[in-house]
Structure 1
Amino acid sequence: MTVPAAPPARALLALSASAFVVLAAEPLYLLVDTAVVGHLGPHALAGLGVGAALMALLTIVGTFVEYGTTSRAARWYGAGRVDAAIGEGVQASWLAAVIGLAVVAAGEMFAGPLTSLLAGSHSTQQAAESWFRIAVLGMPGVLLVLAGNGWMRGVQRTREPVWIVVTANALSAIGSPLLVYPAGLGLQGSAIANVGAQAVAAALFLRALGKAATGVRPNRTVMRAQVLVGRDLILRSAAFQVAFLTAAAVASRMGTAQIAAHQIGLQLWEFTALLLDSFAIAAQSLVGAALGASDAAAARVMAWQVSRWGLYAGVAFGAVFAAGRVLIPRVFTSSPEVLAQTHILWPWFVAMLPAAGIVFALDGVLIGAGDVGFLRTITIVAAVGAFAPLNLAALHWKWGIGGVWAGLAAFIVVRLVGMVLRTRGDKWAVTGVTA
């Protein structure tokens, strides 16, 4: 089967728009959740911050079922093998289910020690553990959704992920305030709503996969190849999480107001990062398809085109958040102490967004090309050599929450320099289908 080529700019916009909506749905729900929980008080918000950081840590074990699946499926799609591309989604879903159940068991076993390690006070630890024990039950659903998004992006199916993810998260956004307040479940109600959304989305993705696939049996050869790609992606994601967990632990030890402000800033950062990542996801699919079709020149053109779009988007988001410096934090908290700490981190948050737009775009280019070994290395260097040391220095020398966010800025700059230099060379643009 020959796959018709779409005009690059048109294909980029279509995939970016789809990814934008899908990526926005989850963080929009988390922002709603943060706002709902924030009005329970600083301790509940701090507990949510610690619990959410742990959930993000556990999610790294399934990173490859999304990004690795997209790049592998896109190469098959570019080579005209749509059946093999969808088969990647089948095997990724098997891996997601197995890994998700293992993560649930590990999370329940170590919930107490893990939350104690990150929380700065007993009240924060109790809140974090109560939220986390419920939220971790949704991990199989989380990973199945990642796998579903991965194969659909690889074959450039842009509509289905949008309505699946938006429907599930809309239900959860409605359910969270109802469970937290009228139902009287408090912080635990937020976790229940979260798990419900993940279960609904996973079921809908599995239904779509069952209709598209020619077979649904496990294939060890394909799964083994996915795991090999996943090894470097997991190490890359682990570097992210070590740095961000260090930041959460440092902010928590600075005080309740600092960790609460950090949670607000981090949710806004992750929301913006995922929206900027819509260009990266489009690049994964289009670069992978171009290299699968043995067209390295098209892949290079796409790399710099998506970088420009990422820069423009980063500048636009920076302008919006700069203008909303006073009003936006008030959506999430009414505490004067938390607001004061939020205003300290805000300039760092705004200043790094243009550079982040380029970084996320090139992330997508190199993942789509399968150059995950380089991404692993540059991310570890940035996390271990810049982000984590600056966070620890901020605690030791009492730089405050601004020092923590200076570490995040350094993390972005180191990756920017490394990825621009890599993309200017030829080593990443390897053509042909990955077996």
Structure 2
Amino acid sequence: MSDRVSPRRVLGLAVPALGVLAAEPLYVLVDTAVVGHLGAVPLAGLALGGTLFTLVSTQLTFLSYGTTARTARLHGAGRRADAVAEGVQATWLGVGVGLLLFLLAQLVAEPVAELLAGPGPVADAAASWLRIALLGAPLVLITMAGNGWMRGVQDTARPLRYVLAGNGVSAVLCPIFVYPLELGLEGSAMANLVGQTIAASLFVRALVVERVPLRPHLPTMRAQLGMGRDLVLRTLAFQVCFLSATSVAARTGAETAAAHQVVWQLWTFLSLVLDSLAIAAQSLVGAALGAGSAPRAKSIARQVTWYGLGFGAVLGVLFAALAAPLPALFTTDPGVLAEMPGAWWFFVALQPIAGVVFALDGVFLGAGDAAYLRTATMLSAAIGYLPMIWLSLAFDWGLPGIWTGLSAFMVLRLLTLLLRARSGRWAVAGPTTAAAMS
């Protein structure tokens, strides 16, 4: 068997995964457009409530990424039933954690909203939306778990259909609930719930038709939480950095904050595009190690890394060419446009680096090397990103200082990941053996 995989196979996994990653941000745009016509207070409430919901759900992505790593190994070993059983346990875990989040939200939604926005109508609107939206927390986490085990068995097409079905129904119902039914901002949250119920139901049905035991198995869930701990800490490091950057940009001035927001949203979107390649790497590397072939896993890692570099370079060239016309599509404010180059050229130059970093992230996640990723990310944040962010505030370095911090973070991550890849210590073969975690 060749140690290489065909580009068509990589794209066959990556493109549907990209659709799943992009579906939620696209739906948020629809939701924002609908609620925006209600006025400033409901829109601000949605922005605050939606941000809090996203922060919580992002911290729990181990239900997808961690499940993919464990499932892919079992699938590669020819143990499909055991692979799907990992999905069952991840789903139970999602239900339990989701119910805890819902109950917690009923107690803390209002004080947290007031802490961030101050007492008043915006905080009240955010808390009202959040209490309803977090009814869907178990449903969102079931969907994450479903994405995880299906990616692990190299099926990324069905998750795309399921997510599009749920989000499509939500997009249709949102304006109906908000306006003709006169439910206002709460109608937006209710439309979300309907779509989340549809998507989660489809993922549960997919588990049922596999005819595997559906009972909870606590040892498996404990093992999943072990990897989850490392991924949660890694994600927390990202969020601390990115929130710090946004905070410093806002403290520097309105024009700086606006320029940073435009470039940052483009960075976030392209991160989703590159992350789809990482998902393909997860599935393929995990399967190779599960099948007992460390050489094949290493070959796939090299191949996907080159794809990431090439893809990132193409994106860099494309957005370099768009440096003049594209910012003007987001704003016509001369002050904001004048600030934009302070971030834009960092954003362009980082694309090839990001392509390699995200590809290797996928490789090591597929290998189960979450502890190394956790440590490397936290050290890169502490040494590279955060010092530059706060020095930028102290010395008024503006966007160049903020984006120098991001560049240092990405370069340090690149170096740590390349060193790990070169060592080969991550490529531990076997259906259930995680890679060396040091």
- Common fold: TM-score over 0.5: yes
Q: Distance in 1 between matches of 2:116 and 2:399?
A: 16
Say whether residues 1:346 and 2:344 are aligned partners. yes
Q: Choose the corresponding residue for 2:76, options 75, 78, 98.
A: 78
Amino acid at match of 2:408: A
Q: Distance in 2 between matches of 1:124 and 1:383?
A: 32
1:179-198 matches, within 5 Å, as: 190-198=188-196
1:200 matched to which residue of 2?
Answer: 198
Q: Choose the corresponding residue for 2:210, options 206, 209, 212.
A: 212
| 1:69-120 residue CA offsets vs partner (Å, 9 max, x unmatched) | 1011111111111000000000000001111121223334333444455559
Note if contact 1:115-1:129 (Cα within 8 Å) is conserved in structure 2: yes
- Which consecutive unaligned segments of at least 5 residues does structure 1 have? none
2:436 matched to which residue of 1?
Answer: none
Note if contact 1:39-1:332 (Cα within 8 Å) is conserved in structure 2: no
Q: Distance in 1 between matches of 2:126 and 2:348?
A: 28
The count of corresponding residues between Structure 1 and Structure 2 is: 433
Q: Distance in 2 between matches of 1:378 and 1:287?
A: 20
Q: CA deviation at 1:219?
A: 0.7
1:56 matched to which residue of 2?
Answer: 54
Say whether residues 1:366 and 2:356 are aligned partners. no
Q: CA deviation at 1:432?
A: 0.7
Q: Distance in 1 between matches of 2:400 and 2:42?
A: 23
Change (3 A) 1:42 1:251: farther
Amino acid at match of 1:106: L
Amino acid at match of 2:147: N
Note if contact 1:260-1:338 (Cα within 8 Å) is conserved in structure 2: yes
Which one is further off, 5-14 or 157-166? 5-14
1:431 matched to which residue of 2?
Answer: 429
1:227 matched to which residue of 2?
Answer: 225
2:387 matched to which residue of 1?
Answer: 389
1:379 matched to which residue of 2?
Answer: 377
Note if contact 2:4-2:299 (Cα within 8 Å) is conserved in structure 1: no
Q: Distance in 1 between matches of 2:324 and 2:127?
A: 32
| 1:29-68 residue CA offsets vs partner (Å, 9 max, x unmatched) | 2344556667888887776555444333312442221111
2:142 matched to which residue of 1?
Answer: 144
Amino acid at match of 1:87: A
Q: CA deviation at 1:220?
A: 0.9
Q: Distance in 2 between matches of 1:188 and 1:410?
A: 42
Normalized against structure 2, the TM-score is what? Answer: 0.86
Q: CA deviation at 1:126?
A: 6.1
Note if contact 2:237-2:377 (Cα within 8 Å) is conserved in structure 1: yes
Q: CA deviation at 1:299?
A: 0.4
Q: Distance in 2 between matches of 1:147 and 1:100?
A: 12
Q: CA deviation at 1:143?
A: 1.2
Change (3 A) 1:240 1:219: same
1:413-428 matches, within 5 Å, as: 413-428=411-426
Amino acid at match of 1:16: A
Change (3 A) 1:14 1:371: same
Note if contact 1:104-1:136 (Cα within 8 Å) is conserved in structure 2: yes
Q: CA deviation at 1:140?
A: 1.8
Q: Distance in 1 between matches of 2:205 and 2:409?
A: 39
Q: CA RMSD in A?
A: 3.4
Q: Choose the corresponding residue for 1:274, options 266, 272, 285.
A: 272
Change (3 A) 1:38 1:158: same
**Identical columns (%):** 51
1:285 matched to which residue of 2?
Answer: 283
- Which consecutive unaligned segments of at least 5 residues does structure 2 have? 434-438
The 3-state SS of whatever aligns with 1:212 is: coil
2:162 matched to which residue of 1?
Answer: 164
Q: Distance in 1 between matches of 2:253 and 2:171?
A: 29
